[in-house]
Amino acid sequence: MEKIVITGMGAVSPIGQGVQETWQNALNGVSGVGPITLFDTETWQHEWNVRIACEVKNFDPTRYMDAKEARRRDRFEQLGIAAAKEALESSGLQVGPGNAGRIGVAVSSAIGGLTSLQDAVFTLKDEGARKVSPFLIPMLMPNGASGMIGIEFGLQGPSISVASACASGADGIGTAMMMLRSGVADVVLAGAAEATVCATGVGAFDRIGAMSRRNDDYSMTPQPFDKNRDGLVMGEGAAVLVLETESYARARGANILAEMAGYAATADAFHVTAPAENGAGGARAIQLALQSAGVNPDEVGYINAHGTATPLNDAAETKAIKTAFGELAYKIPVSSTKSMTGHMMGATGALEAVFCVQAVREGILPPTIHYETPDPNCDLDYVPNKAREHKVNVAISNAFGFGGHNAVLVVRKYS
């Protein structure tokens, strides 16, 4: 089977704009948490429980696209285009009439343009239907980022978007791998974009009971795997990877960053929001992903965990890792970069795949910050608080989502 390789990456996150800034801030343990600025939480002050989020700071979409087009695109689409632009430029791929039809897009979103939809409902109620934007549907549809990226860069191959909750980004990358192996494309831009930090998004996730409410002292939240964890902090952003067949990449003289070696997806079939407590679905996804990559469990040198900092998720994921690896689980470093970026919903798996590539390339692991008090139910090596030098030939990224979705990616050093 032909290898699928990574030749370019782009990222826009709460801790940096661009892969290098995001990566360096992750290694330095920089937290992206702060008071919400994207909407006025004071409007809801009598019933609002959450006033913090991990926002992308000082994002100017006109750096990446025409100002007129930016006004016609939801924030998640703007973030996706920004990440795709960096990924394409870093790959050195030139798009033209000769190859445009063989370059696909698989940039996912769990929710799509929630802010645009919310604002349109307010407009409809207050001002009437004639004031609703004619661009609303393209702004809210979850495939909007994928479609807009194709339009922006003239990519005419297959264009899709996977919606599998917080596994969307990883599933988008996995779907891109299958597209390449099926022969329908030579190159696919894969990843995800999300921007749900709005009144509706924050309020809805808080109603589920999933959010941290440490509004006044947020210096130690979120706390993945810590005994005192109290929930996730919502994030936003985008990450895109350029995936190619090895033969196409070598023929054009591309700089190959790493191999996207394996992927698998399973379902818990258990509960619409809670993970199966025994972690069986996640464990099976890990095992199947390793099998698809031809990787033995003892070859894995790093796990980027889903690690949301919710009580149920972290305990279930720990069980999944121990079921999949047995006693080896205690020897494999595991970290949750959500401790810094927050939970970027559908985009989170894509950014964490970027972190796995960087860990394999540079031999250094990002930490789980805010880790203070061990939890007996979470007893693995979570790379607490400081980055760690550690040789990694194989890294895996876990992404689990509402609905019981489990997706696992395997990244291997290229040779």
Task: Respond yes or no: is residue 390 known to be catalytic.
Answer: no
Among 327, 110, 362, 364, smallest CA distance to 236 is for 110
| Phi/psi of residue 136, nearest 5 degrees | -60, -50
Task: Respond yes or no: is residue 343 known to be catalytic.
Answer: yes
> How far is residue 349's CA from residue 10's CA, in Å, rounded to a whole number?
14
- Indicate left, alpha or beta for 64 from its phi (over 0: left) and psi (-120 to 50: alpha): alpha
Convert 324-339 to b/e letters by CB count within 10 Å (16 or more is b): bbeeebeebbbbbbbb
> How far is residue 73's CA from residue 146's CA, in Å, rounded to a whole number?
12
Q: One of 46, 54, 198, 306 is an active-site residue; which one?
A: 306
Angle at 399 (CA atoms; ends 290, 105), nearest 5 degrees:
90
Q: Which two tokens stand for residue 175?
A: 């779907």
Neighbours of 138 (CB within 10 A): 19
Q: One of 54, 198, 343, 356 is an active-site residue; which one?
A: 343
What is the chain's alpha carbon radius of gyration, rounded to the nearest angstrom?
A: 20
> How far is residue 341's CA from residue 30's CA, in Å, rounded to a whole number?
9
Q: Which helix (H) or strand (E) holds 106?
A: strand 103-108
> How far is residue 365's CA from residue 301's CA, in Å, rounded to a whole number?
10
DSSP single-letter state for residue 291: H
On whether the CB atoms of residues 184 and 23 are closer than 8 A, the answer is: no
> How far is residue 175's CA from residue 244's CA, in Å, rounded to a whole number?
13
DSSP strands (E only) in 230-344: 237-245, 258-267, 300-304, 334-335
| 269 to 19, 272, 274, 403: CA distances (angstroms) | 35, 8, 10, 8
Q: One of 166, 198, 356, 378 is an active-site residue; which one?
A: 166
On whether the CB atoms of residues 107 and 237 are closer than 8 A, the answer is: no
Contacts of 384 (CB under 8 A, 6+ apart): 367, 368, 371
Neighbours of 182 (CB within 10 A): 9
Q: Which helix (H) or strand (E) holds 117?
A: helix 114-127
Residues with catalytic function: 166, 306, 343
